[in-house]
Structure formats: C-alpha cells, structure tokens
Structure 1
Amino acid sequence: MDKLPLIIKREYLAKVRNRSFIVMTVLSPLLVVGMAALVFFLTKANNEERKVIAVLDEGNFFREQFKDDASIAFVPFRDISLETAKDSAQHAAYYGLLYIPEGRDIENAAENIEFFCKESPGLGTLSSMEGVIRSRVRDVKLRNFGVPDEVLGEMGRNYEINVENFTGEKKLRGINEMKAVIGGAFGYLIMMFIIIYGAFVMRSVIEEKTSRIIEVIISSVKPFQLMLGKIIGTSLAGITQFVIWIISAGLLLFVLAAFLGISMGELGGSRIPPDAADAMNNMSGGMQEKMQLYIAELLNISWGVLLFSFVVYFILGYLIYSSIYAAIGAAVDNETDTQQFMFPVILPLMLAIYVGFFSVFNNPHGPIAVAFSLFPLTSPIVMLMRLPGGIGTGGVPVWQFVTSIVLLVVTFLAIVWLAAKIYRVGILMYGKKPGYKELYKWLKYS
C-alpha cells in the first residue's frame, strides 16, 4: 500500500489539471446563476400577463360572482347574442368567452355552460371558474331549502384535526413530508455525484486500458491498489469541484441579487406576492403560532447528525458504486460497450429516490422504508430521508442506523474484493466484448 498515495496524487492532479475539468469548474456556476436569473425573469414576465375573460350570462345567475384577481380579469357582456359576444371577444383579443345560457334554473344553466377560447385553457383557469360556479349553485340550492345566510357562511369554514402525542405535545401535519424532502435533497445530491464521478472513474480506466498505459503501470502496482487509488483520487477531485461550485455560485448569486436590487427568494422564482405578504402579516394568532411551530420543528432537526450522516453515507455510497464503475471500465474497451452494464447499476439509485419518497412520505417507519434504508445499495439515499426525524426516540432506531452503516462497510469490502477480481483480469483483456457469463468466469479465477 506504499504506492497508494502516489496513485491518488496522480489521479487527483490528472483530473484537476484537465482542460475540460477547469472549463466546467469555471463555467458551471455561471450557467447555474444565469439559469436562475433567466427563470426569475421569465416567471416574472409570465405572472405579469393577466388573462381577460368575457362573461355572457343570459340568465343573470352569476352576475356578481366572477370577480377580478391578480391573474384573471372578467368583462361582463350584456344584452347581446352569443355570436356577437364571440366576435367581440376575438376582436378584443380576450383570452376567452364564458357563456352561461338562460335555463329554467341555475342548476340547468350550470350544466350547459361553455367556454370559448383560441387555445386550450390551463387547468388552473378552468378550476378557478368551476369553483365559482360550484359554490354559487350550492348556495342557491341551500337557500331554496331555507338555509339562512349566516349558516351558509359557517359552512365554508375549514376544520382541522389537532394532533398531539400521548404526553400532550402538539404534532404538525405535513412535517414528515418536509423532513423527507430535506433528507431527499441530500440523497439526490449523493445520487448525482455517484452518477457523474463514478462515470469519471470508468472513463479513466477505459482510457488507460485502450492507450496500453495500463500495461506499464500494472507491472509495478497491484491491480487492487491501482483501482483504489483511481477511486479515491477521482472522488477528491470531484469534491474539490463541488466545493468550488458551491462557493462561487453562492457569491455570484449574492452579487447578482445586489446588482439587480432583488432578494434571493425572488432570484429563485419564489417571490411572495404583495397580497400574500400582507395576508401573512395580518394572519390570526393561531396561524402565527402554527408557523412558529413549523419553524421550531425544522430548527429542532439534528442538523449536526444529519450532516455527519450525509458525509458517512456519501463516502461509503460513492466508494461502493465507483468500485462497480471501475470494474465495468476494466471489462470493456470503449464506452459504447458499457451500456449493457449501466442500467443494473443505476436501477438501485432510481428505486431509492422514487420508492424512498413514496414510502417515507406516508410512513417513515414502515417496513418498506426500513428495508430500503437497510439495503446497502439504496440506504445512502433512503436513510437520509428518514434521518431528519432524528435518531432514537420518535426517530430512526439506533440499531437501524448502526446496522445500515455496518452493512454498507461490509458491502463495500465485498464489492471491492469482487471488483478487484474483475479489474485484475479485465484491464489486460482486449478485443472482446464480455457479457455477464464472462464476468462470472473472471470472478472464479484465483
């Protein structure tokens, strides 16, 4: 192992001195900040476009119901025919025409309502108008049954079930989903790093193999040391690039926001409209208390444990998958031949993301969530989705956390041992496209 540091240093310097590495390190933050700014301006321009819809209500059932808001303005048409209303809406370049025919009652009229427009309307626009119609029909029918107006107003109230544990501590709805999203973001970062930089390890092996440099190197270095050095050196180069990206992108976003005079929330496309901001400022005491509970719950997340776990799962997960990538690179002569092996490698990562979200959202301590958080090929992602809930009482049991890490270490050693056997044979094999049967034979070589 005395030559391992030299291999790591060689791989690291080879990566960071590569022209494409330098170009991507410099350009990627600029592209990310530019895309964020572009999304902000496009979203702002799109939100400023207000739809104008003409309303022809022949029965006067909905005369005062359709009211303007921030995204839609309604223009009433009166005492004209449908054809005239269509022509007027088209010539005025309105978004559409809502036609409410004259019926024997409001329910009959509502069943025959039509909306005329040049293009297919968005679901949000239709849902908004349908909600107004549905609410008006319900109120009229209830009034016909003799229900007083004050009762109608009370019927629109929302009722929520208050959740507490058996000791009287309040629990918040949706907090598990919020925590799963936080953990899922860390897990998604691990998945992207594995896919991008695992492929770097594979390409590096293929390049050295096809250039026959490997034959010279292997004469003085054991295959296992060479493979491990490539994995560690490439991962260090990737971490270096990620750190540079995070720091430079953060600085660029700050400078851009200061230059344009906008907040960071606006740059991300999440600007709070003035009406919503006023509503938040004027919210009731109960709502303010609930918001404070959500903030306190998020602040109570064991961020130190979560970040430590992220580093552990990040390292172990990357080492496992990069060993597989190195073995694949040693087994083939070009990147085209790697396609047959890539799907089985990426499949566990995809399952971890999708199954993890669905299972952890609904039941973070259910059998599916626990199983995927223990299975070594998916645990780096799924376990991170569960960890924001804490470790121990009310969170991930300590034995599950420890077991997942032990299984990761054991799996890493096993995969490295198997990958080294494939690597040892594959790096000196040329001109033959191996299949799974051939790889199995290589594993049996002593």
Structure 2
Amino acid sequence: MKKLLLIIQREFIAKVRNKSFIIMTFLSPVIAIAMIALVVFLTKKNDDKIKEIVYVDSSGIFSEDDFKSTENLKYIDFTKLGLEATKKEVEEGKYYGVLNIPKMDSLELLAKSVEFFSKDTPGMSTMDNIESNVNQKLRSIKMQQLGIDEDKIALSRIKSNIKMFNFSGEESSKLINGLKIGVGAIAGYLLMMFVIIYGTSVMRSVIEEKTSRIIEVIISSVKPFQLMMGKIIGNASAGLVQFMVWGILLLLLNVVASQFFGMDMSDLNSTNIPSEQAEAIKQVAADNGKVQLIFQEISKLPLVKLFFLFIFYFLGGYMLYSSLFAAVGAAVDSETDTQQFMMPIMLPLMLAVYVGAFTVIDDPHGPVSVIFSHIPLTSPIVMLMRVPFGVAWWEILVSMLILIFTFLAIVWIAAKIYRVGILMYGKKATYKDLWKWIRYTN
C-alpha cells in the first residue's frame, strides 16, 4: 500500500506541477466563456446585416403588405423595372436576391413556378421567410375562392399553454425541459472529453516510461499492477483538483451574474430619464429578466445531485477506460502503434454520445435510454444525460454497482496485459498477442 501511495503521489505531483496543466486549469473557463461570447457576438453581427430582396410580381396578386420585412430581411417592389433589368441590378451587388413571381393560370401552377435568384446560396431561414410570405398569400386567395371566411378561421385559432406536473406536484415547463436537455448534454459531453483527455494522458505516460526504459527500474521495486493503478489514481486526483478549481470559478461567476442580472429596475419610469434612454433601459431590463428567469429555472434542477454523480461517473468511467488505455500503452512501443487498439475503446464513448443525443433527449425513460444507462461502457455518459429528467435512486445505484464490478474485471484483465506488455520491445502487438497475455497464469 505504501508503494502504491508513493506512485500516486509521484504521478499527482508530476501532473499538477506541469505548466500546461496549471495554465489550462485557470485559463479553460475563461476560454470557454470567451468562445461562447464570440459565437454569440458573431451570430449577432451576422444577423445585423440586412438582406434586401427585390421581387418582380408578374401575376399582379402580391402587394407590399404581403411581404412582411423582418430585422434582417427587407422586401422591395421592382415589378415595374422587369425581371431582366432587375436581375442585372442584383448581379451588380446592390441587392441580395430577386424573387420572380410569374403569371400563371392557376394558383397551383403559380406555387410551383416561383423562382428566386441570388449570387450566393441563401440560408434556410431566408428561404423559409420567403416561402412563408408566398404561401400565406396564396392560401388566403384559395380560401376566398372556396368561400371560406378567413377572419372566422383566424378567430377560431386558440393557442394552448399546457402546464406540466409530475405526480408529486412539481411543476415543469418547456423552458425547464430545454434546460434539462442542455445541462444533461453538457455533462455528458464534458465527461466524454475528460475521460479521453486523462485516459490518453495515462497511455502516453506508460509509453514514455517504456520507451525510455525507466519502467525496467521501477518494476524492480513495485508490482506492475501497483504501477498501473498508481498512474490511474494519480491522474484522476489531478483531474478532481482541476474540477474543484473550475467549480469555484463557476460559482464566483454565478454570483457575479446573479448580482448583475438581479439589478433593481424599479426607477425606470423616473422623469429624469429621457424617453429614448428609458425605452432602451427597459429593453435591457426585459432581457435581464429573461436571463434571471433562466437562472431561476436552472436553480430548480438537481444540481447538487448532478455534481456528485458527475464526480462518481467521471471517476468510474475514467478508471474503467484508463485501465484499457494503460494496457494499450504497455502493449505498444510508440503512440503511432496505438491506432489499431484505440478504435474499439473509442466506439462505446461515441455510441454513448449518439444515444444521448438522439434517444435520451427524445425519451429519457425509454427502454434504449435505460439499457444504455446501465451498460458500464456507456452508463457514465447516458446516465448523466438522464439525471436532470429525474431518475430513481435504485436505478442509479444499480448502474453504479455494475460500473464498479465491471471496472474491477477490466482492471484484472488490463493488469495481465500490462505486466507482460510493459517489458515487450521491438514487436508490434496484435489482438492475438493480447489474448495470449491475458491467458498467462504466471
């Protein structure tokens, strides 16, 4: 045990003293926030560009009122100029595109004959807006032809807002469901990323010590199993320290955000504030109110439960996969030789992400979601994605126990590969060789 602790201490200190580890520990949250802010900024800048679409209506059906402009789209009537002249204007770069509405004998033919010309391929939102305007006008005319009162149909439309409760009386909403999806997805993706990062770190450490022949000196004093476990636990400890630092930084960020978005806006109607500025401030207050609502909804999520489960599944998933990574590192002489063994290890992680993205989000309590949240190679990711939607404790406990027992079995198998492969040089290992090493009794 003393030797194991010394190995853990050595691996931990070597990891946390690494300059890149220290820099990324404090810089990663800043980079993540900066990237999110950059994406939001670029999206906003992209939306700020107003696209001017000119239309030529040869059918005589449409008017300026039928084309509803938005913040990013503006429609201009060029019917009098004609199609060819209008296309030349657009080709010179003065406008975004040309919408051509030809004259047809029937609405059905007209709907299939409308054309749009542009220099660049238009985005889906742009085409959706154009088609929506055209379809709405054609639908209105068709309803008049059929003698249907459009006003009565408009009056008959009622939009429901169904309140959602579970049997314990807890209220839910579309917003909270969206947040559950987001929180679960982020937790699952983060866990996959960390398992890969720290698992491959163990593998590189094994390969480095093997190629430098330091491993021959080390195993003269300790057992290969102790060395492998020391590397795994040491790297896991460094990862937990990194999580703690990130948690503290995010907590401080949450406090700052709460203080900022919780500002008192009761004095916005003061007569000392000019009307234009007051309107702008009210808009900011409305946006802040929405953000504050999101923070309130996030606080309703089982964040403490999710945090502790994230730690457990990170450790369980990391130690499970790190055992495999360590075995691969021991079986090869260089990192380039690991490619043939990496794919079978990575496939369950990729499968877990896809199951979470396409199955858990759609039906978190369905049979596929439940099964994959108990399979040990996928449960760390899939179960974390399910937790925000509410999972019974007995299900979580079963998943935990299966993960623990599977980890012990994988460690036993990986240790057999590790103890033989760590001293093998000059030969490229195959799956057949790995099977032989597992079967060795001495």
The TM-score normalised by the length of structure 1 is: 0.83
2:430 maps to which residue? 435
Cα offset for 1:190? Answer: 1.1
SS of corresponding position for 1:3: helix
Matched, 1:35 2:35: yes
Cα offset for 1:249? Answer: 8.3
Cα offset for 1:83? Answer: 1.3
**Alignment partners' CA distance in 1, 2:364 and 2:57:** 51
| 2:143/2:150 contact within 8 Å kept | no
1:414 maps to which residue? 409
SS of corresponding position for 1:125: helix
2:270 maps to which residue? none
Cα offset for 1:280? Answer: 11
For residue 431 of structure 1, what is the amino acid of its counterpart?
A: G
For residue 415 of structure 1, what is the amino acid of its counterpart?
A: I
Cα offset for 1:196? Answer: 0.6
1:271 maps to which residue? none
Cα offset for 1:225? Answer: 1.1
Cα offset for 1:388? Answer: 1.5
Cα offset for 1:201? Answer: 0.3
2:271 maps to which residue? none
1:425 maps to which residue? 420
Alignment CA distance shift 1:387-1:164 (3 Å): closer
Cα offset for 1:238? Answer: 2.9
Matching of residues 4-23 of structure 1 within 5 Å: 4-22=4-22
Could you say which structure has the greater relative contact order, defined with CA pairs below 8 angstroms and 6 or more residues apart?
1
| 1:351/1:378 contact within 8 Å kept | yes
Cα offset for 1:105? Answer: 4.7
SS of corresponding position for 1:53: strand
SS of corresponding position for 2:66: coil
Query: Unpaired runs of 5+ in structure 1?
Result: 264-273, 283-287, 391-395
1:270 maps to which residue? none
Alignment CA distance shift 1:333-1:387 (3 Å): same
For residue 411 of structure 2, what is the amino acid of its counterpart?
A: V
Query: Unpaired runs of 5+ in structure 2?
Result: 262-278
SS of corresponding position for 2:373: helix
2:141 maps to which residue? 140
1:349 maps to which residue? 349
For residue 410 of structure 1, what is the amino acid of its counterpart?
A: F
Matching of residues 272-421 of structure 1 within 5 Å: 299-390=299-390, 396-421=391-416
For residue 356 of structure 2, what is the amino acid of its counterpart?
A: G
Matching of residues 3-152 of structure 1 within 5 Å: 3-22=3-22, 24-25=24-25, 28=28, 31-63=31-63, 64-91=65-92, 93-152=94-153
SS of corresponding position for 1:73: strand
Cα offset for 1:244? Answer: 4.5
**Alignment partners' CA distance in 2, 1:145 and 1:402:** 63
**Alignment partners' CA distance in 1, 2:318 and 2:211:** 25
Alignment CA distance shift 1:389-1:109 (3 Å): closer
For residue 324 of structure 2, what is the amino acid of its counterpart?
A: I
| 1:33/1:249 contact within 8 Å kept | no
**Alignment partners' CA distance in 1, 2:54 and 2:310:** 55
For residue 420 of structure 2, what is the amino acid of its counterpart?
A: V
Cα deviations by residue, 1:158-178 (Å, 9 ceiling, x for unpaired): 456666667887664585564
Alignment CA distance shift 1:309-1:97 (3 Å): same
2:266 maps to which residue? none
SS of corresponding position for 1:56: strand
Alignment CA distance shift 1:400-1:243 (3 Å): closer
